[in-house]
Structures are given as C-alpha cells and as structure tokens.
Amino acid sequence: MARLIRTEKEVEGRFEEVWIVVEEDPLEQWPEGPLTVVGRDAQRKDGHERVRGEARYTADLKLPGMLHAAVLRSPHAHAKVRRIDLEPALALPGVRAAIGPGEAHGLEEEAGFAGAAVAAVAADTFAQARAAADAIEIEWEELEVVLDPDDAVRREIFTAEPRRYERGDVEKAFAGADVVVEATYRTQTVLHNSLETHQAMCEWQGDTLHVYISTQFIWGIRQSVADTLGLPEDKVRVVCEFMGGGFGSKNSPDEYTYAAAELAKRTGRPVRCALTRREENTSAGNRNATIQRLRAGARSDGTIVALEGEFTNSVGWSGWNASTEGPMRMLYDCENVQTVTYGAQLNTPPMKAFRAPGFVEGTFGLECLIDELAAKLDVDPLDLRRRNYAGSNDGTPFSSKNLEECYRRAEPHWERRHEVHARSDAVWKRGVGMASQIWYGGGGPPSYAWVRLGSDGRATVITAMQDIGTGTRTAMAQIAAEELGIPLEHVDVALGDSARGPYASISAGSSTVPSMGPAVRAAAADAREQVEDIAEQREMPAGTPLEEIVAVLEESQILGKGARGPNPTGMSVLTFGVHVVEVAVDVETGEVQVERVAAIHDVGRIVNPLGASSQVEGGIIQGIGHTLSEERLLDPGTGAILTTSLDAYRMPTIADVPEIVCEFVDRPDEHLTNLGSKGLGEPPIVPIAAAIANAVRDATGADVHELPISREEMLRALREADARAREKEKRGAPAAV
Amino acid sequence: MSELRLTVNGGEHVLDAPVGTSLAHVLREELGLTGTKVACNEGHCGACTVQVDGVPRLSCITLAHTVEGEVTTIEGLRDHPLVEAFVRADAVQCGYCTPGQVVSAAALVAANPEPTREEIRHAMAGNICRCGTYPKIEEAILSWQG
Amino acid sequence: MELLRPSSVAELDGGVFVHGGTEVVPLLREGLLDAERLVDVRGVVPRGVRDGVIGAGTTLAELEVEPAIPEALREACRLAASPQLRNMGSLGGNLLQSTRCWYWRLGYPCRLHGGNSCHARDGEHREHAVFANDFCASAHPSDVAAALVALGARLRTSRRELAIEELYRLPDEGDRRTTNLEDGELLLEVELQTVDSSAYVKAMDRKRWSFPQVGAAAARVGGETRIALAGVAPIPWRIKSIDELDAATPLPRTEWKVPLARALVRRAVAALD
C-alpha cells in the first residue's frame, strides 16, 4: 500500500524536507558477500556501444531541419547591457532568429561574470550562428568588480547568510588544551571539463517540448524546464541515453537549454545549443576556491578537545555555499566545535556541484591540520585518528560505519612507510601520508522501476534514469538478474527517456545505486512473485527455473513494479574510507610524484566490484589533478578567465597515474533499504588531496598549505622548511628532516 | 567550396566543402561517422583521434583538404580485438574519449604488439580521459591479444 | 580561403604556410591568424634525416626515435606535446610556434599583438619569463628550439642560411616579431654539427603533454659546453654558464623558475659526461 511520508532528503550534502509516497519495502536484504550476480565483476552492459563509438550522445544527435545556436557572452566580469541591437546578427546569412536579455531564462541584462550569457542566435550552421552572435551590437555599462573573497566577506557581500555551527565551548576547550595547532589552507578553483560539453537540442512537437540533453538528472530537467516555461511537466520530454561526463555540473538545464527551447519555438525547427570547450571553461561551473582558517586543540594524550574553522567559499556570482565545514563537524569525536562558513559572492563564474562539493576542500584542510597536530603531539597519525573516532554523528547514530575496519585494512599500507623512507635519496625524498573520508551517499526516495519479463525468459528493467558513465545500467541489470535468478545476459536496461519510464533519482551525490537499486530489486521481486504464482497454479515443482515457467506465457508478459523505500529515520547515512598515499618529491625541482595510493572504502554492499574499482580509480585520478596540476586562472585586474583551453587547464594524463590499490569493506548497511548499498561516485575523491599533502610533509618536512601543490608551491614550502631547520640549528636544537 | 576526396575505412568519398573544414567535421557531419568525438576542437584532448595511413592524428585540427592517405576511424576498428579488451577490462566510463583511445591504442599495438607499461603511457598520453579510466586502459592494452 | 599545394620553392607566392597544421589551424580558427591563401608546403619542405641534415618537414614523432640525431634533440622531441601532435607537427613548424601566453592566445591587445602593454606583467604570469621580460613577458614554448640552440644548429631557408640563434629576435617597440623570418620565407632544413654529447631535461606540471615550465638543453662541442633554455624568455634563451641565472629578472610569480632552471641546467650538464 502506498503511504505518504515526510522525510529528509539529501543531495550533495544539502538537506530538504519533502513529502514522498513510498510503497512497502518488505524484502529482506540479501546475505553479506558475493551472490550469484551481485557482488561479482560484470562487464558493462553498454560497453561495446561506447567503445565502438556506436553510443549516441546528445552531441551526436541530429534532427531534420536542425539549426545551431551560439551564445553571446559578456566579456566583462560585471556589467549591465545599456543598449543591445540584434539587427546586425539577423542580417547575416543563414540566421533564423536572435534573442536577447530576458527573452530566454539565463540570458540576462546584468552580467555578473565574464562569460555570462546575454544573447543567442540560431542559424543554419554553427559558424554562421557564431559569426552572427559576435555581430550583435552591445553597449555595456561596466560595474564594480569584486574578486577578492576576503574583501567580499569584509563587506558582507554574500550569496547567502553565513552559516554558523557550534557545539560545546570552544574557547574554554582551547584554553585547557595542551597543544594547539593553527593553519590557513587554500584550495583553488577547478573545472569539471566533462569531455562532452554542456548541450541540449530542443524541438517542439505540438505543445510538447522535446529536450535532448547531456544531463545527470532527467527528471530535474523536466521539472525545471516545465516550471520556467510554465508548462505542465508532462509536456516536457527529456531524453539522455548516453552522456559524456558531468561530475556534478550537469544537474540543471541552464541557459543553453532555454535558449535552444526559445529559438526552436521562434523558428519552428529543432535547435541545438552546445557549449564550446572555451565556454565550458568559462561558463559551465566549477569547484569553487576556498580559504580555511583552522585551529585544533588536544590534550597531550591525543584527545582532540576543540576544533574551530572559518571557511570562505568563493562561490562566484551565484551558486550555493557548500559544506566545506562538514568534515570538521562530522569526522571526529570532539565535544567542542565551532565553524562559520561564508559564501562570498564574487564576479566570477558560478560554482556548481563538483564531486563531493565542500567535503573535498574541507577534508584537505582538516586532514592536513590533523597531521600537523599529530606531529606536534608526536603521535602516530593513524593512532590519532583512531583515538578520536566518532561513534555518532553529533548524537545521531550512524546507519552503519566501518571506518575502523578501513583503518585496520590500512595498517599494512601504513606500515610500508619505513621501507618507503628508506628508498629516499639526496634528490627524491619519499614519504607516506593518510587521510580519512566522510561523505554522504545514502540516496533516497522517490525512485521507481518496472521490470518486464517475456516468455523467452528475458527481462527488461525500465526506468527513466540516466547512466552518466558510472555503470548504472550494469548495476541495475545485476540487481534484477540476481532477484529474478536469471543470467545477467538476459537482462536489458531501458533508460534515458522521461516519456518511457517512471521517475528516477538524480545521478549526483553518489545516489544512483542506493536510490535506484532498491527500486529495481523491488520491481524484479514483484515480477518474480508473479512468476512463482504462475508456477504454483501450474503445479510446477519448487525450484523450476524461471525460463521454464515463463515459457508458457506466449505473448503475455509479467510486469513488475518497484519503488525505493524510505531511509531509516533518526540515523545518519554516510560513507567512509581512508587513503594511504606514497609520494616522491624532487627537492631540487619541486616535482611531486604520487607513486602509490591504497584506497579502502566503506560504502555498504558492492554490486559490481569491477565497476566500483573503476569509480575509485577515476576519483583518485581526478583528485590527483586537483592536488597537483589543475587550476582555473583569472586575470586579477578584470576577472576574465585565462585558462579556457585544455593546454592551459591541465588534467592528468595516463602518464600521471600511480599504482592504485582498491579495497572495499563490502558490508551491507543493514538499516538502508533492501540492498544495503551506498554510493561510490564521490567518496574516492574526498581524501586524496590531504593524503598527498600529508605524504609530502612526511617526505620533506615541508608544510604545503595550498592547492595545487605546483612546483611553485612545493619549492616555496621547501624553502620555508629549510629556513625553519636552519633557525632551529642556530638555536642548538637538532635539525628537522 | 572546393572538392574533397577522402578514403575512409576503405570507402571512397567525393564531396564539396570550404577550405578550412576540419576532417572531424567532414567525418561527423558529412559522412555521419559520429564515433569520432569532438571534445575540445583545438587539438588538446585526443577525443577526435583518427588514423591516417595508420598514424594517429587529431581530426579536429586536420584540414580535410590536406588529407592524402587512408583515414581509419573507430567505425573501421569495430572488430579490432582491442574493443573486446576494453570491455573486458572495464576501460570505459562515460565513453566519450573511448573511441579516440581505441584508435590510438590500435596504432600502438600495430607497431608494437607487446608494449610495456611505459610505452603505453608514452603513446597514450594525448588521449585525455576525464573519468580517469587510465588504469583500465593500460590493462586493456596489455591484454589486448586476449 | 584557397589552398595551394606547391611542389617547389619556385612556386611559392605568398600566403600562410601550413605543414602539420597543429599551430596554424587553431590560430586561424581563433582569428589570431588571417589567411586568404593557405599554402600546404609539404611538397616543398624536405623530410627525413641524412648526413646530419634534417628536413624541416620531418615530424617530431619521426625524430624522437631517430638514432642519427643528438640525444638532446631526440629527447626534446620525445617530451614535446602529445603523441598525436608529434605525429602531425613538423620540426620547422615547431621552431616557429607562438608563445602559450594566455593573454596572447586569447587575443588581448598585448605588445606581441601590436598593443602597448604586457598584460602578463601586471596580471597572471606564473608561467612566464625570467629573462628579457621587460617589454613582453611571454615564454617561448619550444623544447626543440632550445635543444637546437644548445646544439649550435644552422638553418637553411628558401632564401638563406643562418644560425638558429639568428632565427630568433626579442620583440621591441619597432618590431613585435619574435623571429627574423621574412614574409614568404620558408624553413627547409636544419643542419647539425657533430657534438660530443648532449642532453635535454624538462620540467612539466604533468608527466607528459605539457609545454615546458623550464627546459634545459646542454651540449658539449669540442671543449665548449653550450646551454640553452626553453620557457624562460620570449625566445629560446642561451646562457654561457649556469652563473648567468643569477642575472635573471623574474616577475613576482616567476621567481620559482630560477632555482628550477638552476637544478635542470646542473642535471643537463652533468648528463654530458
């Protein structure tokens, strides 16, 4: 029976209260450990299509009569359109329509960052559209540009009210602490740079808008577009069968979709609006820079008694104030914690969620600080982390937490540090560092799936979800195959079209498997129960294979349906893990080489170990880029973006990859759904930066406080460490490493 | 417009295109060979890699009118053992860079059937994968012969 | 736009030369280069290595595995750009590539583009020059050029012969170009002298597919050690000895390049023995 409940919903660390309809979720969880299909390596269901270039991405779609749109963007970081003339664009060859500020959502008169959309043109070819957009005459009134986050905080220019959190009495605790460490950490702005740029193709058929879009959230697009255009949601169809990467940046429709929809309306033809790579680097979102002023106090026995943090998120022109303070609040058992988080509104491109937004940055600061504390206390960093293990989330019990098991499995990797140190020489200094991971990833309702079973014994899972490249099709097929008791090869997954399946979760916040998986299992179980009914009616012996039972169906089909049940009430559903990293630092040239990463994660039941290891490797490699080589740069005078191409914005190549050892605790969360699985997309990128920085300190004695750890930053830190050592020597103390 | 003659995956094509048109554009828009992806359109990422006479090139910055040899795209490599090797090793996530990876890898193993890890890293460094499938790509190439 | 395919030097008649296209095509697309006439010079420029003479049309990929050239050049080719770019890009084109300065690449009206300020000096310049950076702070990105300067190579063009160092010039108020090549002049061959040993070492911010933060080439010719650097000045930069690094004039955010260059030069020179 359907029940209406009020529940808390979390995506990317943001919570809201929602009403949802849930259906009974009576299935017992499967036993722990590998089953017949679930828990075993599976090749991707869509592997061949993707590898052979047969998969059709939004970028590959072409409709008869399709026009191409180009967007005119502000060259100024803050300016207002005083006058705009679209006529010169309309006069150019091939141009079919042009729209300006206010004529489509996202085209605005006030540009708050360089790259903000102002106008758009549709033409027969993209080159014509581009030339026409550039021909638009526009007179700007330049406004004051704010680029310095500290300046914005001083002047209280915020995107939202500062967020304050307090438990216990921090000042008193610091006063009583034996040891206090204090440091400022800075993280840079990094860009998602999904290889398929943000894009949509829109077509009106009657009063229905068809939106083909590269997205992580088919149903969110449907709702946003319908809301914005004043359409009933059923009059918006959203299609995304294959998509070329999102990493958090493709959760909403944005200006390119609205421009395409409006231009399609005006021309009566399908319109594609695709960002160029340059636009992707200026206007498609980013992981915002942070400044973290942190303090930790401990007793000499290693008990952390106080944590304090002032966090400034350089949010940009718009976006949200991500939970950079989250790890400080949640990772350790500490009675006295005080944080304030400022969301500085700047004339820079808006942030968007980027793979564990806030926690990646906050973990860098906190976990480096913890190592500085360990050094000052002269306590082993792993021991210090264990000594302050959090048994609850500020009083709320965890649905499951196996971080201690992660630490236990980290021991042999941690023990390698003596042997690693021994491999140092005069130039290459080697060291080992660790960092813990905490993040969300429990998913939640609603999500629905259908299972269609034919007389040939083949099943199709139908749900209007998206597979953003994480292997969701495969995981869902495994769950259905397991529940139905049929081979994985006999299960297909039909997804990617809001008109052809029920509501499905966003693929963000590490939520796809924990949100969709239980619904798919429920649908498969519903189908299986119907098959069992038939077997009983036909008096087939127990254990008759499903194929044999359904063979009698002929053209009849079994239709199972399933829904995602609620999350456990009064519990915190979180993911955990630890990374142990080995680095080598060339102390003459400042080169940092990550040599080995051991990653141990606790995300409940693992559905596909092969695909899961790919997620871990991918998160680590993206994190290595974040830690060592990637940075979006601005012109400090004007706020114009300088790193707009992939020669200047440097993501890791295959040559930058260390040895990666990946382990999972693989224990189902007994309180979480019929599956016990949490998400894994984000956890692996959370601890890597801090683990690398801590390894660098272990190797060299140098404190790196800024990302990226470029040669410039590394050489600065080494120089500072040298000076410190010399100073100590002068005072007669033994020199540091 | 200027006449353009291309041999692609063994087939001859004669078409008209303005000078300056990229090979990637011709492949995708004129010949419908959308397996070749364009991700940066300025020669930095490798998604558009095709072979010309067996040598990997960036089709997005190759002027179509200057192509003299035989073009091989991913569509011409669909039966290459590397395809199975990539699927087996899970060397694909979002898949947008993957056809280009396979095209580069096919040229590598044609010249050097048993490349070392170092050789793989040297030969594949021009194919950016934002999902970070690199370890699996390395495994796929190491085991391409099954 | 028209495309010509001459087969001899005599047929050359203006236009923008294109060989591998790795530089010219993106610059055309970004509007940093204008061309009514494109000239595919592959039929004119020699390709291949013979008796110490390298055709300027030889690709970097061919050179990175060429046993008959000095180590410094081979290594500079091996560490340059990406595999596909090395497959496409010619030696001659590599020597003539423009700076990676973001302001220049984005078309800012900087001095190299004929304007009257260097945006990098006052702006974001962490990858820029530490020598000769007063007028224009751009850094020359060619690994290969630094190697050839250290190797003391000579060039033959469609009009003359010259030492590679004479190919490059620092831009100034009156002339913003960074090479002395005349309009319509085409690089044809690179002639190498015999060297006792040579080496190239390069600092990048990823292991492959990066322009040099700093590249250091060294060659021993007779009793002389020749040193040249990439990524430190608007043109390939020769220094007589490591001590010349003391005379660097870094900008606030390029100071790090000086100790880096010192370490790399030491290594390059040490590798000569």
Q: What ipTM describes this predicted complex?
A: 0.98
pLDDT digits (tens, 9 = 90+) for B33-88: 999 999 999 999 999 999 999 999 999 999 999 999 999 999 999 999 999 999 99
Judged by CB atoms closer than 8 Å, whether chains meet at A653 and C123 is answered as: no
List, in sequence order, the alpha helices (H) in C50-136: 60-64, 71-78, 83-88, 91-95, 102-105, 119-122
Query: Could you read off the pLDDT of C15-72 as tens digits, one per residue?
Result: 999 999 999 999 999 999 999 999 999 999 999 999 999 999 999 999 999 999 999 9
Q: Is the pLDDT of residue A736 over 80?
A: no
CB contact under 8 A, A589 and C211: no
- Listed as ranges, residues in chain C with pLDDT below 70 are none
Residue-averaged pLDDT of chain C? 97
- pLDDT value at residue B63: 98
Do B134 and A617 make contact, defined as CB atoms within 8 angstroms?
yes
Are A606 and A664 spatial neighbours (Cβ–Cβ below 8 Å)? yes
Among candidates B42, B66, B122 on the partner chain, residue whose Cβ is nearest the Cβ of C40: B66
Backbone angles phi, psi at A250, to 5 degrees: -120, 45
Which residues fall within 8 angstroms of residue B118, CB to CB, at 6 or more apart?
A: none
Tell me the pLDDT tens digit for each residue of A617-631: 999 999 999 999 999
Structure letter (DSSP) for residue B26: I
Tell me if the pTM is above 0.95: yes
- CA-nearest residue to B100 within chain C is C84
User: Burial, A205: exposed, middle or buried (Cβ in 10 Å; 0-12, 13-18, 19+)?
Assistant: exposed
CB contact under 8 A, A44 and B92: yes
Q: Measure the CA–CA gap between B55 and A702, rounded to whole angstroms.
A: 45
pLDDT tens, residue by residue, A304-313: 999 999 999 9
Chain C neighbours (≥3 Cβ pairs under 8 A) are A, B
The closest alpha carbon to C230, from C123, C148, C166, C111, belongs to C148
**Those residues with Cβ within 8 angstroms of residue A573's Cβ, 6 or more apart along the chain or in another chain:** A398, A399, A440, A441, A442, A567, A669, A671, A672, A678
When pLDDT is averaged across residues A283-305 and rounded to a whole number, the result is 98
Only one residue has tokens 């905080």, namely A153
When CB atoms are compared, the residue of B36, B96, B134 closest to A195 is: B96
pLDDT exceeding 70 applies to what percent of chain A? 99
**A1 confidence band (pLDDT: 50, 70, 90):** low
Contacting residues of B for C84, CB less than 8 Å apart: 43, 46, 49, 56-58, 104, 126
User: Angle A334-A337-A340 (CA atoms, 0-180°, nearest 5)?
Assistant: 150
CB-closest option in A642, A655, A715 to C207: A655
Cross-chain Cβ contact B22/C85 below 8 Å: no
The tens digit of pLDDT for each residue in A662-718 reads 999 999 999 999 999 999 999 999 999 999 999 999 999 999 999 999 999 999 999
pLDDT of residue A737: 46
Q: What sign for the dihedral angle of Cα C128, C129, C133, C139?
A: negative
- Show residues of chain C in contact with A648, CB under 8 Å: 100, 102, 105
Whether the pLDDT of residue A526 is over 70: the answer is yes
